[in-house]
Structure 1
Amino acid sequence: MRVTMVGTGYVGLVSGACFSEFGHSVICVDKDASKIEALRRGEIPIFEPGLDKLVAENVAAGRLSFSTELADSVRGADAVFIAVGTPSRRGDGHADLTYVYAAAEEIALALDNYAVVVTKSTVPVGTGAEVERRIRALRPDLAFDVASNPEFLREGSAIEDFRRPDRVVVGTESDKARAVMRQLYRPLFLLETPFVFTSRETSELIKYAANAFLATKITFINEMADLCEKVGGDVQDVARGIGLDGRIGKKFLHAGPGFGGSCFPKDTLALVRTARDAGSPSRIVESVVAVNDARKIAMADRVIAAAGGDLAGKTVGVLGVTFKPNTDDMRDAPSLDILPRLIAAGATVRAYDPEGMKAAAALIPGVTWVTGAYDTMADADVLVIITEWNQFRALDLSRMKRLMKVPVVVDLRNIYRPDEMAEAGFSYHSIGRAPVQAH
């Protein structure tokens, strides 16, 4: 089948490459000429494990190409995916659909045959209907359908998520569109992947509901972590104890500095706005948004307290600044709230991240960026672990202690054992567990 993917951001590029791996002929379109030229040279604009190899193989096989010309790319397509950005709109938190509607109108003017126009971007309920209305207004005689096909890709494991998803959700009332979508995802039918065929509105809501529920699990365990610290509990044991219950599940029960990234903050806020506008406010999701925002800010206070209540003239080492490991994504990362507050408190901040430093440097002024994990620790008064990259999980504790001026570690991801850190001579502060002092 012929597929056009409008947008070469995270979702568009990964989805386009994976569809080409399925054997379809895919053109990825973007207005950014420099990005398209870079992709043609094999330069991938985002860090996603395995994506560079996947793109290169399918370009070489002739199944994947890149273009700035939307009209030429759309003609003859069986399916046209809209995978453009839907950032939170300034002022009201609604998803900004400017790019979605602009793409839909361009597609309408270019289509020359029946095609399914598919919203892959995360969009509020009713967007598919508005996309259809706009296309119909421009081309009343055009044969087309509009479907919703939300993505559920996790940054850092997106390729595997596309190839072996938990489920595929398709929203359409058209039998013809359903047949096209079945053919596009045929390899997954052979793997007996669960498919949910439903209405467009339901499909659009499924995406928001899924992300809001996962964000709620994260926020819940973070609040339990705070309670554990007050009453002498261990949040990791609490998480294990409840996660073994099949009705709850163990995923997304890892206490930390709050959720970030490209999806959860934006999507929870958009769901809150959608629910309010519909006259059915979601009080739980509203609380999740408020608690998470406050939590990220409070993490800086934990660091200051661990350093004796005053950071003036002190050095803070920071390990990891991206919102999660295996990505270079800085969107709504907790470090964006934590590091500026440490600097404002008078600290010199030395930070390292395996992939995110280039993006972070433009967002967090005043940080000294270094070339390795141990470089952050030289004469440091406190070391903070913000992102749990694998290379931070087995550091040489003896070397760390020799490098640091004061052996204080604030582990916001709980990747070390308190007894191990105390035995190694550290004052160790983690999340939802009692702090320990050096033996």
Structure 2
Amino acid sequence: MLTAQRLPRDFQLFIVAVVLAAAVLLWLFTQVIRWQAWPELLLFVVLIAVTSMFPIPNPRAGYVTSTTTLMYVLLSVQQPISAVLVAGSAYAIGHATSRGWVPWRTFFNGAQMGISVGLAALVFRLLGGSPQAPGVTSLLVPLALASIVHQASNNFFVTFFFGKLRQTPWFRTWLIEFKDSLSSNLLTIPSAALLAILYVFVHPATLLLYLVSLPAQRWAIQLYLQQRQIYKRAIDSLVLAIDANFPQGAGHSRRVADLAAALAMKMRLPDPDVEAIELGGLLHDVGMIGLDELFDSAMLFDSPAIEKIRQHVLMGAEVAGELPRRDVSEIVMYHHENYDGSGYPRGLRGAKIPVGARIVAVAEAFESMTAGGLPYTGRLSASEAMEAVRMQSGQAFDPQIVEAFFELNTENKVTSEKRERQPMIQDAGNKLDG
């Protein structure tokens, strides 16, 4: 667990700045808050806090809660500054209750959520949104656009923090996270609009109806997250099949994936790219399934056999293409391309080869040389294999990736017998919550 004492000074300042920004907003505009409506504000606080107390671990990273709909009702029926107060305090209470009291994390989460919801509420008002005149242009459209602002702001705070903390580009991660959550958030707009109308025209207590739907919402969220796990199980099955075809190299795919992911992190690539590279490392040899008989030493100099073996990248890319990420398929297809253009299947050169494929190429070469995973290869020591990689820099391998590879070795992350890093695709993570 991260503590404020372990965070770099720049990030401590970032946390303080966000918390102070929320506090200053509340101090400057506290007189605008309709304190006489405290029962309604308290109702929102209780409901948002309760729903955020039951987070569902996200296999990809962080947690998922059922607070989104309530946030959208809040921003549509309350003033922006009231939304800052209610969303921030309620989310902080729920966060601290469910995940433990860590002051800097609790205050930061509450502050960034309050600012995000308050900003969205301001956009809703500027667009002329009002549940008192329900309609497409007066409620649904402003609420939809406000929800986009909320999600963009919330994702920004989280990805910016972790991007700077890990010294990785945050913008691409923000873009992917925003894109992934956009459709599911927009689907909550009709129910949020209906609750807002009931709140205004019937009674604020109608918000309690939301609690009735909470079990069904949690079930729907869990079902959605389970779909992601299906891909992981499919990948695990494919990796087992690869290892079964090549018992001499059992575990080869996982070792390549670990080293490739470590290289990607060393090069400070965004988290989504690291995840794709890890998946590409796991599946790089999936096209080899069923070709094990071609590795008999007597057939190694047989041109038809060699050509058939080279086809494994195309077959593997077709299998990987069933995953919802195109970049994984490209890594599998091009991981045998050489930096000087002498590789296969397309003879790509330099930067035209996807960076993930260039990284997996280095990881696979080193792992194959040190493991001796195939019957016709000898096993090299780590130093011998590293020298072989160095000799191919600029020819088979990207010089920048080779440089990062040697820096990893200097940090004892290449040849270490025990790698501390856990596979990204299996982690729930300890991310701040969106």
Q: TM-score range by the shorter chain?
A: under 0.3
Alignment TM-score, normalising by the size of structure 1:
0.25
Larger Rg: 2
Q: Looking at secondary structure, tell me which structure has more helix per residue.
A: 2
Higher relative contact order (CA 8 A, sep 6+): 2
Q: Looking at secondary structure, tell me which structure has more strand per residue.
A: 1
Alignment TM-score, normalising by the size of structure 2:
0.25
